[in-house]
Amino acid sequence: MSARPNYARFPGMGDLPGDSSNPNSPDYVERESILDCPNETGTWLAENMAEPIQTRAIEIIGDFLAGPRDQFANARLLREVMDLAAKCEDAIRAFEAKGDDA
């Protein structure tokens, strides 16, 4: 008799109930939107908005680094990055709405 456990007899991570993100789980839920999955969101942004995001991010960071790094600069940096994220979200939602209508 072996003292080692036989791992082939145990369910894998995806086989365990309660994991709604793993397709092998009985509780798996199919994603309804690109925004529901970080990997899909990042991939979509890289394929569809890389240039405008990079350009705007470079401008935002450049302004921050070249200016006084005080409380107001920190707040402005956060506000501008949040605005960029909102524009990306709006673009994804518009893309998904267009896909539903087509």
Q: Domains of the chain: which residue ranges? A: 33-101
Query: Which pLDDT belongs to residue 86?
Result: 95
> Does residue 83 carry a pLDDT above 70?
yes
Distance CA(93)–CA(44), nearest Å, equals: 12
How high does pLDDT run on average in the chain?
A: 82
40 or 31, higher pLDDT: 40
Query: Which pLDDT belongs to residue 32?
Result: 74
